[in-house]
Structure 1
Amino acid sequence: MSELIKILVLGDIVGRAGRRALAQHLPRLIDQHHIDFTVANGENLAAGFGTTRNTAEEMFRLGIDVLTNGNHCWDQRDFLRHIEQDERLIRPLNFSPRAPGRGWTVRETAAGHRIAVINLIGQVFMGPWSCPFEAAQQALAEIPDDVQAILVDMHAEATSEKMGMSWFLDGRVSFVYGTHTHVPTCDEVIHASGTAYQSDIGMTGSYQSIIGMKVESALAR
């Protein structure tokens, strides 16, 4: 079994523009770069607000293996049932323990590599969620030992909280990356014990916009 695993990580996919961009480019990128595993944040798939069964299935057909989520997780009613039925869909682990779905998943690539994905949501400027650090610790205790990589989508506003998570998990996971702000940062780093980190990986959406949303509607607010 090859030890090299190529993983593509995409930030928040925003609305129709984001979905069209992926439809046009993602299959080619996966083929051209021999990508083994693709994960994306899907909380803005449906016109910027949540995920539907149809938009999720569209992304899976294009080659995405796991869709993470965030604070817009429950904006679409049918998602409540769909997330219970599909292990490729996850939501922040530190939501209420009574929330539908799961906060982490393990998927297998075509070559047999097992990849774990953990979804967390921040507390600072975000909402009264449970502690993401405790949730991460819980996930690591439950994830099987035979996984080859662990990815952590930290859906959060505050850079300090995301950066803190990366140091907390240094040496225990492969990559901690931020989503939510839709603005990519240029602070990519590999920490002392080997964990890669980026504060925000940006979005897949229209850049003739305000963080993916129509300029007129955003200005009106």
Structure 2
Amino acid sequence: MTPDPEALEAVAVLSDDLRRRMYAFIRRAGRPVTRDEAAESVGISRKLAAFHLDKLVSVGLLTAGYAQPGGLRRVGRAPKVYEPGGAQVQVSIPQREHELLAGILLDALRLQEPGENGRETSIRVAAGRGHDLGTAERADLKPGRLGAERALTYAGRMLERHGFEPVRATHTLVRLENCPFHPLAAKDPDLVCAINHAFLAGFLSGLGAPTVHAILAPRPGSCCVELSTTGTAS
């Protein structure tokens, strides 16, 4: 297959570390972001940020417009704001974890027990896979009690690596802004969300974080699971 020139251009633009970091910041923000905010997120000047942001806009990774912060009316031109655009590139931004989902489903085919249906096996295997990952993460932590605050922090780091785009909504809640199993999840959301929920619950169990709960809380365009220390969805 001939590479898409537009996709290649987008990858080239993202090869710059500052642009990648600003793009990731704007994706996580969940709202229009000003040049000043983007500049502050990576520690550069507003003028330099504008240059990099315009590069991201030029390849469709961001869209630009004008808005009044907080809806307040001010004298003069409204500040320029940026939001994620519709461009997608082969490197997968946002990150996808189709290999993880495929591995769980393949193991479910191999490990199905008598009297167990495919869904039940998939959920059991997903919980085991998550538990193994959580146990491995736990082994790398310093000894000591893993309280709710610390558990949310470490869980967020793992989920970031797997493309869930965690955002700390409150001190008791982490929302996952990206579904790494999309678009496959759209074909059977009931099954895939159940697998995802079991995987994350198993991870928390392996991590040794009984005060943090994986809660099913589907939201359009986001992951179907939230991490909560209260045991209830937001």
Q: TM-score, normalised by structure 1?
A: 0.28
The structure with more strand, counted as a fraction of residues: 1
